[in-house]
Each structure stands twice: as structure tokens, then as C-alpha cells.
Structure 1
Amino acid sequence: MVSKPLIVVICLDEEGVSEIINDRLYTVLARKDEVLKATSLSEARRHLTSTIRPHAVIVADDAVTYPRNREVLLRLVEYAKAGGTVVYAGTFSSSVRHQDLDSMFKDVWGLPWRAFSFATTTHTVNPRVQGLNPNGLVKRYVVDANHIDHVALEDAVYLPSSVVKKLRKGGHQSAGQTYRTPAAFATVGRGRVGYIGDVDGDDDTTRLVIAMCFWPGSRAPVPPGDGVAEVVSILMSMQGL
């Protein structure tokens, strides 16, 4: 019997509405996958260092950006670089502070992504996005979302319709040109990291989360070890120890 893929949902601060908003996604995933929640630092550490590696990790709230949970962020990057998939979804975008989001992407992930603003928009799937099959995504994405900026063309999942029309006509982007989007998906090492800014968690977004978790070629990484020494040494150097 083939075991179900393991999906870990990290939700370190379950106060407020996080449980309600994440319920739809959790229910859909649980129908076909084994879903485990990490609601404490120790649980997150265990899932990210176990020899039974998750197929994907969904970060469902902003508590991973708190200083006391810095270790989790470092382990998430380590996991992704080894071939794992990390997706920021759920209530993450609606609760994280802009400065914390910018710092996390720049200093921890090494990405130029920056927080932009909240907007209700209708976007079209980007035909040039890499790592995802555009045919498996809803073509017109109507969403209330916290957008991010400075996203490379190949990493932007959805773009304004006017931009997509130019791309389909063979339009070329200027060197270094970046885009604003409600959803992004980038390569990190041998794995991937995604961001979804939707604040409502509707069915189209649920499909997008699943597409990111199971992008073509995705698989649970094989751990080279428990990763403790590397992460702890990084933490100590950051603290000047």
C-alpha cells in the first residue's frame, strides 16, 4: 500500500481566526494526504528534521517571523534547499507586518520580494511562470490579496491581464524588470518557496496551494542528517556567540 504524502502545516499562533480561515484548505488536503500540524517550536523542529520528511510545508500564520521562532525560518530554508516545498498561505499574508515580510524574504530566503499593498484585483495566469503547470490553474483569479512586488517574471503566478496580453503577443521584458503579483513561486536550491496573498482562502486559492505543494517533480527531500549542527551554528553566529 502506497502511503499518503505528508503535508505539515505550521501554525505557531492559533489565536484569533487562523483556525477558521485555514479550515477549508486543511479539509481538502486531509482527503488525500496525511496532514500534521505544528503548533509549537518543538513540533516544527521535529517535522523539519525527521527522517520522514514532509512532501511540503505550509506556513499558515506570521508567527514564524517572531524572533523567538527564528530557528524555524532557518530550518525551512534548509529544508527547501534540500528539495522541499514551502508555501506561505492561510492567514500569513493578512497578519504579517510589512517590515517583517521584507526582512524575511531578503535576509532569510535571499529573495528581492517586497510587501506592496492590499487590493481587490482580477489577475490572469502568467503563461511564462516556471515550476507550475499553468493549465492546472484557474485562468482568471479574482482575489482580495496582499500583493508583493519585485517578483521576477518566471516567479509571478498571476499578472494583470494587460501584461499577459503583451506576453502572449511575444512581448519581451526589459532587463531586470520585475512585477507585482498576489502569488509567487520561486526556486530555492533544489526546492521551491511560494507566497499566496489571498486573505479569504477561497476555492481558487486552495487549488493554487495544492498546485504549489505538488508542482511537477516535487518530492520529499532525503535528509543528509538532522540539520541541527548547521542551524544551531548559524543561530550562534547571528547572536555573536
Structure 2
Amino acid sequence: MAAENVTRPQVVLISLNCEPFFDEMYRSLLTELESKASLKRVKEADSAIRLLSEQPSAALITDEALANTENAHVWEAVLQYVRQGGISVIMGHFPSYIKPASIKPFFAKAGLQWEAGSYHRTTLVLNREVVANDLATKLPPQYSQKALFVKNVAPANAWYHTDESSVVESRVFAPTSANIMGETAVAFASVGHGKLGYVGDVNAEEGSDVVILAMCGL
């Protein structure tokens, strides 16, 4: 058992603004992560930086705290970790609580031109031109999610995209096209020698659980 624990992937959850209902909302994802990896959650900046220096298998950014000025040094530590070959995924409560105007400067530090895009529910389709066949078989071919999209995403970085059949799914408004070029709620880009992901889903959909696990290599 000891040898097995040593070889288990290490996943760090950076949750500096952790909401009390996070664990309940993301219970299914956390359960899946714990079945495949050793999880460590940090709620303090110094602890986050220390764990990143240990080169974990992946780091999940679960809220908007790293976009705040007082935590800029933690975001820089995340980006240093990614550039050296690490994997980090922006997810969870980040899209729910981030100020849209903060998204552009946040991702600009990673060398990405991503900005806040649409905010609505629609069905996205797996981008099979980008995702390798062996990985595509593990991912949902399409799924509906309410999400904060990012725009200016290169086609090669969009794991999922809208198509001609994607409409704004609303109980209030008539369906209108949600097919906007360059926008996605599921992006995965190379930054240095590593990868930076974004999952804009705000409702913890089952499909997003699978996507996050795949981005982490699990």
C-alpha cells in the first residue's frame, strides 16, 4: 500500500476564497478525483506556493481569488509551475464570481488573449479536430452547460465548441443562435511546456467532471 501511495498522482486544489458549499456542489468531482489521485487543498497563499514548488500532477484553481491584486504572486507561481510542464485548470467557482473585466488581464499574464464572452446555457460539441481519438472516446460527444464563455480562443485550444444547432437554452427567452466564432466554455492551451485549462461551467455538470479529470490526465 505504501508503494502505491507514492505513485499516486498528486492534485492540488487552490481555494483561497473557498465557499462553504463548494464540497457539496462538487461532491461527484471530488469523489472521482480522490479515487484516482491524492488530493491536497490549500486556502492560504504561502501553502499554495509551497505545494506548487513540489511539482504536483495538476493544480485546480477553484475560485476567483488569484485574479485579485493581493494574490497576484500566487498566480505567478501557478504560471511558473505550468511553464515548467505542469497542468492547471481554472474551474469551479471562478466563472461564477470573477468580475468579467478581470478576465482579460488575468489570462494576459499567461500570454493568452482570452476575454469574457457570453454567459448562457447552450450545448457544446466535442472538437474532434483537436482532441486525440483515444481521449475523445472518454469525453462526452456533446453536453449542455450554463457557463461563462471566453472569447478570442484559438480553434486549436477549444476542446468544445458551439455549432449551427447550438442555441441559447432558456425557459424565458426564445431560442437564439449561440454559435459565436472564437468563443468556448472549455479551453486547453499550451503555456510554456505545460497546459492551462478553463472550464466555464457554473453548475457542476457531469460532463464537466469528465472534462476536468481528462485535463488532469486522470
Task: Using structure 1 for the length normalisation, give the TM-score.
Answer: 0.78
Equivalent residue, structure 1, for 2:110: 109
Unaligned runs of 5+ in 2: 167-180
The answer to whether the Cα contact below 8 Å between 1:186 and 1:194 also exists between their aligned partners in 2 is yes
The Cα of 1:163 is off from its aligned counterpart by 8.9
The Cα of 1:121 is off from its aligned counterpart by 0.3
Compare relative contact order (CA 8 Å, sep 6+) and give the higher one, 1 or 2. Answer: 1
Indicate the percent of aligned positions where both proteins have the same amino acid.
Answer: 29
The Cα of 1:100 is off from its aligned counterpart by 1.2
Number of corresponding residues: 200
Give the secondary structure class of the aligned counterpart of 2:152.
strand
Unaligned runs of 5+ in 1: 165-177, 216-241
Equivalent residue, structure 1, for 2:174: none
Task: Using structure 2 for the length normalisation, give the TM-score.
Answer: 0.86
Matches within 5 A, 1:116-127: 116-127=117-128
Mean CA deviation greater in 18-27 or 87-96 = 18-27
Give the secondary structure class of the aligned counterpart of 1:136.
coil
What is the alpha-carbon distance in structure 2 between the residues aligned to residue 79 and residue 22 of structure 1? 25
The answer to whether the Cα contact below 8 Å between 2:84 and 2:193 also exists between their aligned partners in 1 is yes
What is the alpha-carbon distance in structure 2 between the residues aligned to residue 110 and residue 81 of structure 1? 11
The answer to whether the Cα contact below 8 Å between 1:22 and 1:91 also exists between their aligned partners in 2 is no
Give the secondary structure class of the aligned counterpart of 1:179.
coil
What is the alpha-carbon distance in structure 1 between the residues aligned to residue 107 and residue 17 of structure 2? 20
Give the secondary structure class of the aligned counterpart of 1:57.
strand
Rate the CA distance shift 1:115–1:161 in 2: closer, same or farther, 3 A: same
In terms of fraction of residues, the more helix-rich structure is 1
Q: Is 2:36 the partner of 1:35?
A: no
Q: What amino acid sits opposite 1:4 in the alignment?
A: R
Q: Is 2:113 the partner of 1:93?
A: no
Matches within 5 A, 1:3-152: 3-50=7-54, 53-106=55-108, 108-130=109-131, 133-152=135-154
The answer to whether the Cα contact below 8 Å between 1:157 and 1:185 also exists between their aligned partners in 2 is yes
Give the secondary structure class of the aligned counterpart of 1:161.
coil
